[in-house]
Amino acid sequence: MLRPGGFPEYNPAEQLVFDQVKVIIEQLYEQHGYTHIQTPAVEANSVLLSKNGEDAGKQIFGLYGLAQGAEDSKDYSLHFDLTVPFARYVLDRENELTFPFKRFQVQPVRRGERSQRGRFKELWQADVDVIWQEGEKSAIGKNLYYDAEMMIVIAKTLHQIIEKFISGKKFTLHINNRYLLAGVMEQFSEEKRPLIYSLLDKYYKISHEQFIKEIEELLGTESKKILDFVACKLDDLTSYKLENENFKRGVKELEEVFGYIKALNPDNTYKLVFDPYIIRGLDYYTGTVYESFFDDDMALGSISSGGRYENLTGYINPKKSQYSGVGGSIGLSRIVFLILEKSKPELLTKTEYLFVNFKETINETAGLMNKFLAKGKICEIYPSPDKLGKQFGYADKKGIPLVIILGEGEKNEGSYKIKDMIAGTETTHKI
């Protein structure tokens, strides 16, 4: 195989599945008032490395100019996510945008990661964000409605995709708060905090027993503080007996967010739960954080994730206006991977009508096809006047449901026939 590993490529039937999933996402995002944008595949290294430079530098694919005179290409790299390009986009175009600015963006990203099940070097993400300008007069940032709306939009979109392609598959959106976590961590030394975060983050990759074992080895008698916390339901948090400001703020924000979720999801169509193990590794998240998983396939990894961020743009250019927001991302490539893993797609084409090619009536056939095209039908004409059986075989193999026949006999009668390839019936129609 000549294709590089870790860079997915689909056959025509698989591509149709991918395209249909992408359309569902875009339609749901647009329905909720989000505007489509697109940014270049390439960003300046100074932008991509402006936050978490060392860690980000391990992920990005740099440019290498093969042509003479392409020395400046070393200053640019392929973006590894869509959030950093979005932050740059907002700073460049702040005078052209109306805030709060609601945007969605569906594009591929590239990361220098080891390829494994559901994880690729090139992957499509479907990001959705709302961003606003910070300031004394801005009340938007103090209101957590958008946190809830974002998660409901994500959940609704995942629900529609699953209903269409893998009906019966269950997923849950797991929610936490970074202030809450920061408050819990104040009980421990600064040296141990990153180790505790790391253990929480890998909880769903190991057994519960292994998690307890590693926490006890790390914290000894202090392990009870973490084990009591992760055992909490949302309603239990107020009895956790922590009085620091971060923890209290986290509890208050979670209660507000879940209040909005209840209003937006009154029938509990979508399952959203508090989960103390969710931390989200990216440093720009500051409040609400969440991840979605298939209930019976946690090993696949999250299929969506996101959260709230304060001053997203400050690390790119601290001298310009500060913008904060909340966003989310659906892992389009990972979801399509699972769909294709579960079943082989049957539909090979979107073509609705195949027009049979008769040498004697090719001009009349082309004219008839133009009438169908004008009505918005998806059509193609067989490329050569082969035997009828071969042309029918082509339609059958591609899954084209209807075949139009306009031979000399039909021409003389001023009609054409439509053969239904599924039912095996023929009907006659006037031209």
- 159-166's contacts with Cβ under 8 Å and 24+ in sequence apart are 159/269, 159/270, 160/24, 160/28, 161/21, 161/24, 161/25, 161/335, 164/20, 164/24, 165/17, 165/20, 165/21, 165/339, 166/338, 166/339, 166/342, 166/343
Amino acid 71: pLDDT? 64
**b (16+ CB within 10 A) / e for 29-41:** beebebeebebeb
Amino acid 56: pLDDT? 61
The distance of Cα 407 from the centroid of its chain, to the nearest Å, equals 48
Q: For 381-393, how does the pLDDT look when each residue is reduced to its tens digit (9 = 90+)?
A: 999 999 999 999 9
Pairing of strands 304-309, 122-133: unpaired
Largest CA distance in the chain: 94
Could you tell me the pLDDT band of residue 186, with boundaries at 50, 70 and 90?
Answer: very high
Task: Please check the confidence at residue 251 and state whether its pLDDT lies above 80.
Answer: yes
Amino acid 97: pLDDT? 96
User: How far is residue 257 from each of residues 100, 249, 250, 343, measured CA to CA in Å?
Assistant: 19, 12, 11, 37
CB atoms within 10 A of CB 54: 7
Contact 420, 401 (CB under 8 A): yes
Amino acid 75: pLDDT? 86
In the chain, where are the structural domains located? 12-36+81-187+242-342, 353-430
Task: Please check the confidence at residue 104 and state whether its pLDDT lies above 90.
Answer: yes
Q: What percent of the chain is helix, strand and coil (3-state, nearest 5)?
A: 45, 20, 35
Share of the chain above pLDDT 70, in %: 94
Amino acid 3: pLDDT? 85
User: How far is residue 180 from each of residues 51, 202, 208, measured CA to CA in Å?
Assistant: 23, 18, 22
Quick one: tokens of 214?
A: 């590693």
Q: Mean pLDDT, the chain, as a whole number?
A: 91
Domain 12-36+81-187+242-342 part of CATH 3.30.930.10: yes
Amino acid at 430: K
CB atoms within 10 A of CB 136: 5
Task: Please check the confidence at residue 276 and state whether its pLDDT lies above 90.
Answer: yes
Amino acid 352: pLDDT? 96
Amino acid at 378: I
Could you tell me the pLDDT band of residue 214, with boundaries at 50, 70 and 90?
Answer: very high
Amino acid 344: pLDDT? 82
The distance of Cα 215 from the centroid of its chain, to the nearest Å, equals 33
One DSSP character per residue, 77-97 reads EE-S-SHHHHHHHHHHTTTT-
Task: Please check the confidence at residue 300 and state whether its pLDDT lies above 90.
Answer: no
Q: For 361-377, how does the pLDDT look when each residue is reduced to its tens digit (9 = 90+)?
A: 999 999 999 999 999 99
> Which residues make Cβ contacts (< 8 Å) with residue 211, sequence separation at least 6?
199, 203
From the candidate CATH numbers 3.20.20.100, 3.30.300.30, 3.30.365.10, 3.40.50.800, the one assigned to the domain spanning 353-430: 3.40.50.800
In whole angstroms, give the CA distance from residue 135 to residue 155: 31
Higher pLDDT residue, 311 or 381?
A: 381
The phi and psi torsions of 364 (rounded to 5 degrees) equal -65, -40
Quick one: tokens of 146?
A: 């958008």
In whole angstroms, give the CA distance from residue 257 to residue 292: 17
Q: For 218-231, how does the pLDDT look when each residue is reduced to its tens digit (9 = 90+)?
A: 999 999 999 999 99
In whole angstroms, give the CA distance from residue 12 to residue 15: 5
pLDDT average, residue stretch 267-275: 97
Could you tell me the pLDDT band of residue 140, with boundaries at 50, 70 and 90?
Answer: low
Share of the chain above pLDDT 90, in %: 74
User: How far is residue 430 from each of residues 381, 425, 427, measured CA to CA in Å?
Assistant: 19, 17, 10
Amino acid 114: pLDDT? 81
Q: For 327-367, how does the pLDDT look when each residue is reduced to its tens digit (9 = 90+)?
A: 999 999 999 999 999 888 877 789 999 999 999 999 999 99
